[in-house]
Amino acid sequence: MNNPEPAQQIQLLRDGYWDRTSIIKLADNSKRVRKISKGSDSAGPWGIQNLRAEALYLANLEPNLQDFFPPLLDHWDGTTTGYDMGFMANYIDVGQIAKQQLFSQQQADAMQVYLAKRLFNELHTPSSAPAVLSNNIKETFTQALEYLQTHTELSILLPAININGLPVAALEQQLNKLFSSNILDKLDQGPQVRLHGDLFLENMLLPAADPGQNWPEHLILIDPISVAGVSTGHPLFDLGKYESYANGELSAMRGEYLILQGFTDPYQINQQHQFQWAIDWHAAAMAGIKNIDWQHQLRAEYIRHYGSVDSALYELLQAYFGAAMVICTDGREQQGRALKMRTSLELCLA
């Protein structure tokens, strides 16, 4: 279809960087969830391409994965771009479950074990698609560099600086070292699998009320494909994205629950600007992530399935996630993302 079926918006679920997700009602009173491009209001360069890729991803799922995602009901690419998916009545995202502290540690562990089983054994099928992740990472870092070079406030992060006590080389020096190393090759030479691509707690749904003994099996994933359109690559990509939220960093940056120093009160030691950043764990919204471990069990299952985590690749992906979002955000979140990018790049290259 070129345009979506006319519908009434019932509830706005998420006003994202480049799309809006809403519960809608059609003329026959049936409900759906509609994800639609924001067009020229998009905060980043990937919006329309991502929605096309997401619809294609959902349309081509194997039968054994149909219960792991909501059904694709419609998609269009005309005046706007987007798709409709099934409305999961009485479901909420696991990010809200975490924030509202609705789970015990035992329940959080059970959810992670079930997620690992479906993710690593079923979704992560071998992919014969060309390896694109290293080129995507190069392009994203180059875009982030050019963005910082023209940004009045963030250009202070370009030279050699110090972040949380860690000496960090100039950004151009970091990228030259990265691009001339074999680290990126390891991403493309490793096992290429189909990824979820944007795997974090807010992209997982569970019933709001505990449905009984096998409740983890009701887990539903939504919004596949990463911010830069990545749907295949190294399996560490999904673990890294998941942990970036489960460890509190992503939710803290989005909500600006951050402690930042160095932007409005710069000071120098040995001619290097000093920056500090940390999660504000005293913020009430962070209590659910602070009090429940949302990541240990999934990491253990990853190691059991794939072997040990390559720390250099892991930090590279964390830096890449930060770089992609530096281009799409602003304010304190953008500052936090930029500091995370610079720190993780240094750790990757150490």
Categorise residue 256: left if φ over 0, alpha if ψ from -120 to 50, beta otherwise. Answer: left
pTM above threshold 0.75 = yes
Cα dist from 24 to 31, 68, 190, 271, whole Å: 6, 22, 42, 56
Q: How far apart are CA 65 and CA 347, in angstroms?
A: 37
DSSP class of 350 = -
Tens digits of residue pLDDT in 111-130: 999 999 999 999 999 998 88
202 in Cβ contact with 94 (< 8 Å): yes
Tens digits of residue pLDDT in 38-78: 876 655 556 688 888 999 999 999 999 999 999 999 999 98
Q: How far apart are CA 78 and CA 284, in angstroms?
A: 43
Q: How far apart are CA 71 and CA 61, in angstroms?
A: 10
Q: How far apart are CA 175 and CA 346, in angstroms?
A: 10
Tens digits of residue pLDDT in 23-32: 999 999 999 9
Which domains occur in the chain, in start order? 8-86 (3.30.200.20), 91-349 (3.90.1200)
Q: What confidence score (pLDDT) does residue 40 get?
A: 65
Q: What 3-state class would DSSP assign to 76?
A: strand
Q: Among 206, 275, 280, which residue's Cα sits nearest to residue 248?
A: 280
Q: What confidence score (pLDDT) does residue 128 get?
A: 86
Residues in the chain, pLDDT under 50: none
